[in-house]
Chain A
């Protein structure tokens, strides 16, 4: 298995889109799936399916073992200290909501401050807004600079004795800025403030070592890691999972239920109520295997090469304005085109089989700061190559032609 031939591992690339080969540049939105993940889902349903953690029959035992083996694999992949620190959720959004809700309930009161950045995706802002409206908390935004970076000094300046949590993105889904998360965590540790990292864009492109980074919470979106839809991971330090109340109630997450009292299970079960996404969790093991086989560092350096080539190619076109110029850019290339709205760009590019995203990318705060209502975004995955960047560049030229009439 080699990166240069990796497109062959993804069945989606065998089809034509509008008569053209698919140039998929929307991986920051959701990545495509390699055959081994797709096969694992159908194979699991065909031969091994059962609910997990409940029944004692053979299928249930086997499914439970597979499910828990994935937890072990994720624990190892993220270098968590304990397997109990890996919680499966329905996505990074739920992972963040889980923390905001449970941590907020226990620790955030009127006037307490939550420190986020102007780069945040709505999923790392709206859950904190609930605490603002329900509990009178204050949200502070570390400003983004003209390069699309958030400087650590800006975060430092905003920390006060009232700061109860810092919640920051690992990689911006708009400017592509890679934040200095380890330094931010170190800074927060000095002040005893927990840090949540939204790893939605970070996890698919970086080596995520929880013990090295030292964060308290890290949210992962599995469908952006060549994995199944509807699945996320929350890494949380064991001390928090032991300390925080459950997020949702239901079957499986209890210890003992009486008419006058209920006690809860230990983590991770405490935070995984109801029937879990069995096939998704089991098949996510294949996503991790896929990434590990190629090596996340190799994936990142390949994507970076494609990205740099793309930037270089697009910069030759004077009508293109590339959004942000961060010190370290992760696999995201947002741009605007003179006199052509991003929506029109996306529709016209699609005619050439080039799939990009247009809009505010769930970052309205950032777009307001940029003075733009929308941008066009090309984002890169392991299967993209320089040829895709050339096709993007050509399709943009065609778009300009359509508008010039």
Chain B
């Protein structure tokens, strides 16, 4: 049962067909994160416009289904948003994984909540937490450069 919670359909889909993969054109900020234990890597690229909105966002990386899905979901949820949204959703995501809290951001649609919550199964697999959080840490680092 727990295994099915970890490898949900949404995760398998994003893992197999990650969205926004590659280096987005004209990116203004980027940051990398890696898991030195296994060699998994993620590199986040984002393009901020003069209104400080994320005009484009993408990632490069290799890794397991969890890490690819997490990065892919991240790009889908944050594209077109402003920096305060990005900080809030990242914090929400990280505390969902680490502290098992619920997503508190109320500007998400029901579908978006389902998508982001699909990664919550990682809570039960402590050795895999880093796989899920890596991309989000990279995103925060990229944003903090602002």
Q: Which residues of A contact B (CB under 8 A)?
A: 339-344, 347-348, 351, 358-360, 364, 367, 373-374, 402-403, 405
Contacts and interface: CB of A to CB of B under 8 A. Distances in A.
B33 interface: no
B3 A359 contact: no
A343 B12 contact: no
Contacts of A348: 3, 7
With most chain A CB atoms within 10 A of its CB, the pick from B6, B12, B39, B63 is B39
A342 B9 CA distance: 19
Nearest to B63: A341
17 contacts: A341-B65, A342-B64, A343-B66, A343-B128, A347-B3, A347-B127, A348-B3, A348-B7, A359-B38, A360-B38, A367-B39, A373-B39, A373-B40, A373-B41, A374-B39, A402-B3, A403-B12
Given A351-B3, A402-B7, A405-B12, A344 B66 contact: yes
Interface residues of B, number: 22
A394 to B, nearest CB: 15
B39 A359 contact: yes
B64 A341 contact: yes
Contacts of B127: 347
Contacts of A359: 37-39
A339 B17 CA distance: 11
Nearest to B125: A347
By DSSP majority rule, is chain B's interface helix, strand, loop, or mixed? helix
Interface of B: 2-3, 6-7, 9, 12, 16, 37-41, 62-67, 125, 127-128, 131
Contacts of B2: 351
B64 A364 contact: no
A373 B68 CA distance: 14
B118 to A, nearest CB: 14
Nearest to B2: A351
Contacts of B3: 347-348, 351, 402
Contacts of A339: 16
Contacts of A373: 38-41, 62-63
Contacts of A347: 3, 6, 125, 127-128
A364 B39 CA distance: 8
Given A341-B63, A343-B63, A402-B7, A358 B12 contact: no
Contact of A343 (B16, B40, B41): B40
Contact of A358 (B9, B38, B62, B65): B38
Nearest to A343: B64
Contacts of A358: 38
A358 B63 CA distance: 12
B62 to A, nearest CB: 5
